[in-house]
Chains A and B, each alone.
Chain A
Amino acid sequence: MAATFDWQEDTGTQTGSPTKGTTRTTGVTDVNWKNSGVQTDVYSSFPITAGNNSYEKWQFGKFTGTFNQILSGLFAHTATALGTGLTLKGTPACTGDGDRLLYTTPATTANANLTNDMTSAIAIGSGVAVFFGATGPEATGKASSMTTNPCYTNFLTTQLQTSASAAAGDTAQITLTLQYQEN
Chain B
Amino acid sequence: MEEPKNIKDIFCSKHQAVTPHKGSVDANGEFLFECIAETAETEEFTNQVGEKETRPVPCGRFVKFPADTTPEKFAELLGKHEEVNVGQVSMEGQEKTLSLLLAVDQKASDGTPEAPAEQPAEETPGANGAGGGGTNGQA
Contacts and interface: CB of A to CB of B under 8 A. Distances in A.
A93 B86 CA distance: 13
Nearest to B129: A183
A85 B34 CA distance: 9
A174 B64 CA distance: 21
A121 B90 contact: yes
Which residue, of B32, B69, B126, has the highest number of chain A Cβ atoms within 10 A?
B32
A32 B95 CA distance: 27
A109 B30 contact: yes
A121 B92 contact: yes
B92 A109 contact: no
A52 interface: yes
A79 B137 CA distance: 13
Interface in B70-129: 73, 77, 80-81, 84-85, 87-92, 94, 126-129
B91 A87 contact: no
A119 B60 contact: no
A112 B77 contact: yes
A182 B63 contact: no
A87 B136 contact: no
B28 interface: yes
28 contacts: A2-B131, A3-B135, A7-B137, A52-B27, A67-B131, A72-B134, A87-B64, A109-B28, A109-B30, A112-B66, A112-B69, A115-B77, A115-B84, A117-B84, A120-B14, A120-B91, A120-B92, A122-B88, A123-B94, A163-B60, A175-B138, A177-B136, A179-B134, A179-B136, A180-B135, A180-B137, A181-B134, A181-B135
Interface of B: 13-14, 26-28, 30, 32, 34, 60-67, 69, 73, 77, 80-81, 84-85, 87-92, 94, 126-139
